[in-house]
Chains A and B, each alone.
Chain A
Amino acid sequence: MRILHRASRTDEIDQALNALVSRRPYDPETALVSDVIDTHTQAMSALRSDPAATGPAAGTWNRVLRANAQPTAKGQGTMSATATLQSPLPGAISAPARKQAGGFSHFVNIAASVLVVAAIAFSGWFATMHLQPSGDNSNGLLGMAQGTPGLDSATCDVEPLSVDEVMAIVENPYSAFDHDLITSRDWLKVWEEKTGYDLLETNSPAIDQQLLDGFTYPATQPSFDGAVDRANGFLVCAQKGTIGQVFVYMDPKEIQRIVLANHPVYRSEEQVRATVIELMEMPGSTFVFPGGDTLHASSLSLAVNPEIDSALVAQGAGVSRYDATRVMMFGIIATDTDGTVVYQSDATGVASPVAGLERTERFRLIIKQSSIDGQWYVLAILPDMIYVI
């Protein structure tokens, strides 16, 4: 009887609440139900009294439409925009390995050990140096960078950097930057006086927790589309291109860091050049997604998460340390050949599980907008792991 009585009161409470939400009158039989009605009414009164609870901002619908107008937002566009991942490369690693004298496994391992994969970019110095005053920049680096494969392209057809261009970046990625750290150094003697790690310590900090802590929410619209296009161009070349093509999209400081990280001890310019020559022809995926077994497991197309709300922007020091007007972080979306999204992460690293696999990676792409030329350059992809039960 007691159970029946309790059940009937539960039912009556439920019926009273259903009447309330349907704005129909209800005559409570018990004080208990009256209390529930009073409580609900009081809660609704509090909610209605708050002007901020009225409804979404006027521009919210436009944001929805704008987001859905982007081809990458619907899978099909993403599919056509990105290339299919290659099989795992022999050089792709899941954990740092011991240093070896020369050789690319060492190179790859160091890059992975600091969790900074993509370094690349074309500094303003390079862009400025190669641009023609007349505006004919078809052969310049900036022109090359702007001619990136867009969302409709499934191939990486950007002209790769030359060995000489990479060597120039390694020697001094900041020639055009009016910065004491740069101007106070005699960069021409870099091969004679500086080891790779010396330079890394003073000039090219890796993506670290300090930067990650500086990211906040949400991103803002200015230049967002440009960042998405550049990031997707980077991903296409990471999947189908060479390191020389991937470098087109990367921050020069990161290029320098990657190259010099292969030389923890003194090396001659000739030795570094030999390394760069070999490096440039390596598949772009070598440095992107080290240990990325999950996304390499099947044929997938990748693009950054195009939802601006899922992107983050860096604040304060996180921006200034990269000579950028803005630093943003994106999640990544992977779609299969049917256009179905099988993996999705947002900038905070929240990632959807990938069916059938024990773990997935919280891939995040970090990109900066140069304070010199306004172009977006990829800093890194962070493939930190999560484990899915």
Chain B
Amino acid sequence: MYAQMPDNTASDDELTIIAAALRDPAAFAPLYEQHAPDIYRFCYLRLGQREAADDLTAKTFIRAIERLHQYRPKSGATFRSWLFAIARNLLADEWRRRRDIRLIPPIEDLTHDDYPGPEQLAIHLTEMDRLRAALQYLPDRQREIVELRMVGFNTDEIATTMNTTIAAVKSAQARAYRTLREHLSEGVEP
């Protein structure tokens, strides 16, 4: 009935790769492939722009590799929670930056080869727009918890990444999902 908590420690494979990447950044590639999509989605959820999310993803891994020597496996903390803590800090910086900087319109979003046609795209964007609008009703910490859930984080990882307690995560996420449900259902025909 109750879900079992996944193992939260860094795996041996991860530690081996990290050790190799300390000598050669290119050795980090497997960890990039494993975590980059989630880091990207986390950034994309917050920024809403492909290019900006790409930039933040790159920046996250650049910084992670730079600071790899500072990584210490800790009980209850996964490597990806360490990565996401970096992404979270960079997002906070980006958010401050956006108060002053005009962003380039995400033209790429409309011209990317992998994209469906305009009609299908409109439907997709409407659904995603509704999610983004609903997320904006959440206080920052609640929103972050939902966003981390959406990229596959369990409670321990969220608590580690956000430097808070498990009890605080549980409490905030219950409120977050209640608020999110209210706003996601707005405008949806029965």
Q: 0/1 per residue, A358-372, Cβ < 8 Å to B?
A: 000000000000000
Contacts A51-B114, A64-B32, A312-B101 given; does A57 touch B3 at CB 8 Å? no
Q: Which of B55, B109, B152 has the most CB of A within 10 A?
A: B55
* Inter-chain contacts of A57 with B (CB < 8 A): 50, 54
CB closest residue in chain B, given A214: B102
Contacts A47-B131, A51-B114, A350-B97 given; does A10 touch B62 at CB 8 Å? no
Q: 0/1 per residue, A277-310, Cβ < 8 Å to B?
A: 0000000000000000000000000000001011
Contact stretch, chosen from A19-27, A245-253, A319-327: A19-27
* Inter-chain contacts of B177 with A (CB < 8 A): 13, 17, 35-36, 39-40
- The answer to the question of B12 belonging to the interface, with a C-beta cut-off of 8 Å to chain A, is no
* B101 touching A216, Cβ below 8 Å: yes
* Inter-chain contacts of B39 with A (CB < 8 A): 56
A22–B149 Cα distance when bound, in Å, is 10
CB closest residue in chain A, given B102: A216
* Inter-chain contacts of B174 with A (CB < 8 A): 9-10, 13-14, 36
Question: How many whole Å from B131's CB to the nearest CB in chain A?
Answer: 4
Contacts A15-B2, A64-B65, A346-B97 given; does A56 touch B102 at CB 8 Å? no
Contacts A22-B3, A69-B25, A216-B101 given; does A50 touch B128 at CB 8 Å? yes
* Inter-chain contacts of A68 with B (CB < 8 A): 25, 62, 65-66
* A73 touching B170, Cβ below 8 Å: no
- The answer to the question of B180 belonging to the interface, with a C-beta cut-off of 8 Å to chain A, is yes
- The answer to the question of B112 belonging to the interface, with a C-beta cut-off of 8 Å to chain A, is yes
A43 in complex: contacting residue of B2, B170, B184, CB < 8 Å: B184
* A47 touching B101, Cβ below 8 Å: no
* A64 touching B58, Cβ below 8 Å: yes
* B127 touching A50, Cβ below 8 Å: yes
Q: 0/1 per residue, B47-61, Cβ < 8 Å to A?
A: 000100111111101
* B152 touching A21, Cβ below 8 Å: yes
A63–B116 Cα distance when bound, in Å, is 27
A309–B47 Cα distance when bound, in Å, is 15
* Inter-chain contacts of A267 with B (CB < 8 A): none
A10–B121 Cα distance when bound, in Å, is 37
* Inter-chain contacts of A188 with B (CB < 8 A): none
* B32 touching A19, Cβ below 8 Å: no
**Interface size counted on chain A using CB atoms at 8 A:** 59
- The SS class assigned to the A binding surface is helix
User: Between A and B, how many residue pairs show CB distances below 8 Å?
Assistant: 174
* A74 touching B66, Cβ below 8 Å: yes
* A348 touching B128, Cβ below 8 Å: no
A42–B181 Cα distance when bound, in Å, is 9
Question: How many whole Å from B179's CB to the nearest CB in chain A?
Answer: 10
A18–B26 Cα distance when bound, in Å, is 33
* A51 touching B150, Cβ below 8 Å: no
Question: How many whole Å from A315's CB to the nearest CB in chain B?
Answer: 9
Question: How many whole Å from A302's CB to the nearest CB in chain B?
Answer: 17
* Inter-chain contacts of B41 with A (CB < 8 A): 47, 53, 55
- The answer to the question of A44 belonging to the interface, with a C-beta cut-off of 8 Å to chain B, is yes
Q: 0/1 per residue, A49-87, Cβ < 8 Å to B?
A: 111111111001101110111000111000000000000
* Inter-chain contacts of A64 with B (CB < 8 A): 25, 32, 58, 61-62, 65
* B66 touching A47, Cβ below 8 Å: no
A97–B121 Cα distance when bound, in Å, is 60
- The answer to the question of B107 belonging to the interface, with a C-beta cut-off of 8 Å to chain A, is no
Contacts A47-B45, A348-B100 given; does A55 touch B2 at CB 8 Å? no
Contacts A21-B149, A22-B6, A26-B3 given; does A309 touch B55 at CB 8 Å? yes
* Inter-chain contacts of B150 with A (CB < 8 A): 40, 43-44, 47
Question: How many whole Å from B21's CB to the nearest CB in chain A?
Answer: 9
* B62 touching A67, Cβ below 8 Å: yes
* B57 touching A14, Cβ below 8 Å: no
- The answer to the question of A11 belonging to the interface, with a C-beta cut-off of 8 Å to chain B, is yes
CB closest residue in chain A, given B183: A39
A222–B63 Cα distance when bound, in Å, is 22
Name A's B-contacting residues (CB within 8 A): 9-11, 13-22, 24, 26-27, 35-36, 38-40, 42-47, 49-57, 60-61, 63-65, 67-69, 73-75, 215-218, 307, 309-310, 312, 346, 348-350
Closest 3 CB pairs of A and B: A19-B3, A55-B37, A46-B131
Name B's A-contacting residues (CB within 8 A): 1-6, 25-26, 29, 32, 36-37, 39-41, 44-45, 50, 53-59, 61-62, 65-66, 93, 96-97, 100-104, 109, 112, 114-116, 121, 123-125, 127-128, 130-131, 134, 146, 149-150, 152-155, 169-171, 173-174, 177-178, 180-181, 184
With A46-B127, A348-B97 already in contact, 11 other A-B pairs whose C-beta atoms are closer than 8 Å: A14-B169, A36-B174, A46-B131, A51-B116, A51-B124, A52-B109, A60-B40, A63-B58, A67-B62, A73-B62, A309-B56
Task: Jot down 5 A-B pairs with beta carbons below 8 A, ordered by A.
Answer: A16-B3, A18-B155, A51-B116, A56-B58, A216-B101
